[in-house]
């Protein structure tokens, strides 16, 4: 199985279009060791030909342009794609907006939880993907599912989806109550265990996660690879950077550092490769010369980048 990180940044990307923080400025100016990143998505292939996308980011056009494997093959039909299905891990803009760029009456399948499918159904703009051509299928939680193309043929990619602590999508939050708690444990945000049919080795993809509890630690034990929520290094980083009022926790994202952070929470869990993805444009690890980057690497984690490939 091949796994390609096609977008390693969080919502907004890196640099973010309107961000003048030092990191976005450094990326824009081409500073050494500060690399641009597109928004959150990975591509997985079991047979090296067909691909399953996990999340469809607003940058999907650029991601396809940068990834020959996702482009129509030279000998394929006049209109074709190697993308067989898209699996959504939540309804956030950075994970669903790219669906709109996959219009043009091209068959593929969409998989998501009932909540996320309800959000797509409630927003009529997604009808540019006619469900008669692009079927929408429920991703049942805690049940292994063979991901199929629009015609129901298996892709060879198998997914076991499970709820993780998270939050409803930002645009679904009811305005006017700044102290409201929008956290959710019931499938608004999911993680996925991805494997090839008949293979025991698995990659876990969890781009959004608010907390790591005992159940998640048990689930992750012996994973060949973990691609995990690396939105913020420190919980109060966006406030300290002066770009916003929200903590990582308020956004539904656990910090990398600190006693309650992901590095500490997973330190004694046996995992083959551990890679941070969904990295926000305020996260100092984006600068390869930073002390935070060094600390994360010393703790045994990799910093995901666009084009990074994991082979199982
Ligand atoms: C998130 O991961 O918190 C969201 O992508 C934020 C957003 O929608 O901008
Ligand atoms: Mn996001």
pLDDT band at 1 (very low <50, low <70, confident <90, very high): very high
pLDDT band at 232 (very low <50, low <70, confident <90, very high): very high
Residue 124 backbone phi and psi in degrees, to 5: -65, -15
User: Over the range 73-107, which residues count as b (16 or more CB within 10 Å of their CB) and which as e?
Assistant: eeeeeeeebbbbbbbbbbbbebbbbbbebbeeeeb
Among candidates 157, 153, 268, which has minimal Cα distance to 218? 268
pLDDT of residue 177: 72
Report whether pLDDT(73) > 80.
Answer: yes
Ligand 1 atom nearest the C-alpha of 207 is 2
Rounded mean pLDDT, 115-121: 97
pLDDT digits (tens, 9 = 90+) for 33-57: 999 999 999 999 999 999 999 999 9
pLDDT of residue 53: 99
209 CB under 6 A from ligand 1? no
Spacing, Cα 162 to ligand 1 middle (Å): 20
Nearest C-alpha to atom 1 of ligand 1 is from which residue? 11
Q: Which domains does the chain have, with CATH numbers?
A: 2-170+182-311 (3.60.15.10)
Nearest C-alpha to atom 6 of ligand 1 is from which residue? 11
Question: Which residues have C-beta within 8 Å of that of residue 64, sequence separation ≥ 6?
Answer: 70, 71
Spacing, Cα 259 to ligand 2 middle (Å): 23
Spacing, Cα 117 to ligand 1 middle (Å): 18
pLDDT band at 236 (very low <50, low <70, confident <90, very high): very high
pLDDT digits (tens, 9 = 90+) for 153-207: 999 999 999 999 999 999 999 876 767 888 888 889 999 999 999 888 999 999 9
pLDDT digits (tens, 9 = 90+) for 135-146: 999 999 978 999
pLDDT of residue 176: 65
Q: Which two tokens mark 108?
A: 């593929």
pLDDT of residue 178: 66
CA–CA separation, 99 vs 56, rounded Å? 6
pLDDT of residue 56: 99
pLDDT of residue 226: 98
Work out the number of other CB atoms within 10 angstroms of the CB of residue 145: 18
pLDDT of residue 143: 86
Nearest C-alpha to atom 7 of ligand 1 is from which residue? 11
pLDDT digits (tens, 9 = 90+) for 282-312: 999 999 999 999 999 999 999 999 999 998 8
Rounded mean pLDDT, 238-263: 97
Q: Which two tokens mark 161?
A: 């989806």
Ligand 1 atom nearest the C-alpha of 278 is 2
Per cent of the chain over pLDDT 70 is: 99
């Amino acid at each position: 199985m091949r796994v390609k990180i096609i977008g390693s940044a969080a919502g907004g990307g890196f640099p973010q279009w309107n961000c003048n923080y030092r990191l976005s400025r450094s990326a824009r100016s081409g500073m050494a060791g500060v690399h641009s990143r597109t928004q959150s998505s990975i591509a997985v292939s079991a047979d090296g030909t067909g691909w399953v996308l996990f999340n469809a980011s607003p940058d999907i056009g650029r991601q396809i342009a940068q990834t020959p494997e996702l482009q129509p093959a030279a000998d394929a039909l006049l209109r074709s794609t190697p993308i067989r299905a898209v699996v959504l891990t939540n309804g956030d803009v950075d994970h669903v907006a790219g669906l709109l760029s996959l219009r043009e009456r091209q068959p593929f399948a969409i998989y998501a939880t009932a909540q996320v499918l309800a959000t797509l159904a409630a927003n009529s703009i997604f009808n540019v993907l006619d469900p008669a051509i692009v079927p929408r299928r429920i991703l049942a939680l805690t049940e292994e599912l063979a991901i199929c193309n629009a015609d129901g043929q298996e892709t060879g990619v198998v997914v076991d989806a499970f709820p993780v602590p998270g939050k409803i999508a930002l645009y679904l939050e009811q305005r006017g109550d700044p102290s409201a708690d929008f956290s959710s444990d019931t499938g608004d945000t999911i993680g996925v265990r991805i494997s090839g049919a008949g293979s025991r080795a698995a990659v876990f993809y969890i781009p959004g996660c608010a907390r790591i509890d005992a159940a998640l630690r048990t689930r992750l034990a012996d994973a060949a690879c973990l691609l995990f929520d690396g939105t913020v290094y420190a919980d109060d980083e966006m406030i300290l950077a002066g770009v916003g009022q929200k903590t990582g926790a308020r956004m539904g994202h656990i910090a990398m550092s600190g006693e309650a952070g992901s590095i500490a929470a997973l330190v004694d869990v046996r995992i083959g490769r551990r890679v941070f993805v969904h990295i926000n444009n305020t996260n100092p690890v984006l600068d390869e010369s930073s002390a935070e980057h060094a600390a994360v690497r010393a703790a045994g984690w990799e910093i995901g980048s666009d084009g990074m490939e994991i082979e199982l």
